[in-house]
């Protein structure tokens, strides 16, 4: 038998050029970029899936001003964001109720408040009402020293994908009812007298039963004798501590 013939084919490899190296590097960089983008997208999607509802609460109500006629309360609303991204609170709607009757409200539909990631933000709102409105709503407040009040409402927060979320808020406490100053006649004496008339001196005691200072802007008096008015006048404003 003739001997077997072995054939070996030798393939010449293509020369590695600088252009080929650049193309390879570009392709590797593109693959890395795509992988990073996919990883970032997966992280963002996971964050959205894990989104938690923010919290809103009334942390306190302070007296801004209190007089014999009206009251202004300052309401502090604290927004808490447990998520790893900043959220926007876009609407605040609060109502003040006294014994269940709504007497004042505040609506801020255009307010834009940023709540930081995993942080809190406090927003303050004033609420003003008059005691005349309270008396009209409750049928009178004579003899009452305290009033039950509540602040109720909602805060709207814009959340990614989930859209607008309304968060209810509520708070309740008691409010002092201002009492009228107590006026007592201590003494009356004749200061002077002549043919044109007499000048009397009145000794008055004015006390403030409230736990806050009261300014009497106008103090008018009428003096009568035997059922007939013989004098009248006004006193200068009084500041009662």
Q: For 83-102, how does the pLDDT look when each residue is reduced to its tens digit (9 = 90+)?
A: 888 888 888 899 999 888 88
Residue 77 pLDDT: 92
Residue 10 pLDDT: 46
Using the predicted structure, report yes or no on whether residue 120 has a pLDDT greater than 90. Answer: yes
Residue of 115, 187, 94 lying closest to 158 (CA atoms): 115
Most confident of 52-56, 161-165, 226-230: 52-56
Clarify whether residues 83 and 121 are in a common domain.
yes
Residue 18 pLDDT: 62
Clarify whether residues 109 and 220 are in a common domain.
no
What mean pLDDT, rounded, does the chain reach? 75
Higher per-residue pLDDT: 210 or 237 = 210
Residue 17 pLDDT: 59
Which of 53-67, 110-124, 227-241 is least confident?
A: 227-241
In a domain, 64, yes or no: yes
Clarify whether residues 60 and 166 are in a common domain.
yes
Q: Residue 173 is inside which H or E element, if any?
A: strand 163-176
Mean pLDDT over residues 95-110, rounded?
85
Residue 186 pLDDT: 79
Q: If pLDDT is split at 50, 70 and 90, which confidence band does 8 have?
A: very low
Residue 153 pLDDT: 92
The whole domain housing 41 covers 16-50
Residue 228, strand partner residues: 225
Using the predicted structure, report yes or no on whether residue 221 has a pLDDT greater than 60. Answer: yes
**Cβ proximity of 106 and 127 under 8 Å:** yes
Those residues whose C-beta lies under 8 Å from the C-beta of residue 67, and which sit 6 or more positions away, are 178, 214, 215
In a domain, 105, yes or no: yes
Mean pLDDT over residues 132-160, rounded?
83
Mean pLDDT over residues 113-131, rounded?
90
CATH of the domain at 122: 2.60.40.1820
**Cβ proximity of 105 and 129 under 8 Å:** no
Mean pLDDT over residues 212-225, rounded?
71
Which of 38-42, 143-147, 186-190, 207-211 is least confident?
A: 38-42
Residue 122 pLDDT: 93
Residue 121 pLDDT: 93
CA dihedral over 132, 126, 153, 163, signed as positive or negative: positive
Clarify whether residues 164 and 220 are in a common domain.
no
Enter the pTM of the model: 0.61
**Cβ proximity of 240 and 207 under 8 Å:** yes
Residue 238 pLDDT: 60
In a domain, 76, yes or no: yes
Neighbours of 48 (CB within 10 A): 14
Residue 52 pLDDT: 81
Q: If pLDDT is split at 50, 70 and 90, which confidence band does 197 have?
A: confident
Domain count, the chain: 3
Q: How far apart are CA 121 and CA 225, in angstroms?
A: 65
In a domain, 161, yes or no: yes
Clarify whether residues 149 and 232 are in a common domain.
no
Clarify whether residues 167 and 94 are in a common domain.
yes
Those residues whose C-beta lies under 8 Å from the C-beta of residue 73, and which sit 6 or more positions away, are 61, 62, 63, 64, 96, 126, 127, 128
Query: Which percentage of the chain shows pLDDT scores above 90?
Result: 14
**Cβ proximity of 200 and 191 under 8 Å:** yes
Clarify whether residues 158 and 193 are in a common domain.
no
In a domain, 3, yes or no: no
Q: How far apart are CA 187 and CA 185, in angstroms?
A: 6
């Amino acid at each position: 038998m003739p001997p077997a013939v072995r054939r070996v084919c030798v393939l010449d490899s293509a020369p590695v050029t600088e252009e080929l190296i650049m193309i390879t590097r570009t392709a590797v960089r593109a693959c890395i970029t795509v992988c990073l983008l996919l990883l970032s997208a997966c992280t963002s999607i996971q964050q959205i899936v894990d989104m938690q509802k923010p919290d809103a609460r009334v942390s306190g109500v302070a007296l801004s001003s209190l007089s014999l006629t009206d009251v202004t309360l300052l309401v502090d609303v604290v927004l808490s964001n447990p998520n790893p991204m900043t959220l926007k609170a876009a609407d605040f709607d609060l109502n003040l109720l006294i014994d269940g009757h709504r007497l004042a409200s505040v609506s801020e539909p255009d307010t834009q408040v940023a709540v930081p990631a995993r942080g809190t933000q406090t927003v303050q709102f004033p609420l003003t009402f008059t005691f005349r409105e309270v008396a009209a709503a409750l049928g009178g407040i004579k003899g009452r020293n305290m009033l039950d009040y509540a602040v109720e409402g909602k805060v709207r927060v814009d959340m990614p994908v989930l859209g607008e979320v309304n968060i209810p808020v509520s708070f309740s406490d008691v409010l002092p009812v201002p009492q009228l100053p107590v006026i007592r006649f201590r003494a009356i004496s004749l200061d002077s007298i002549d043919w044109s008339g007499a000048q009397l001196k009145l000794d008055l005691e004015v006390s403030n039963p409230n736990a806050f200072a009261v300014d009497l802007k106008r103090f008018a008096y009428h003096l009568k004798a035997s059922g007939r008015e013989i004098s009248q006048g006004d006193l200068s404003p009084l500041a009662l501590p």
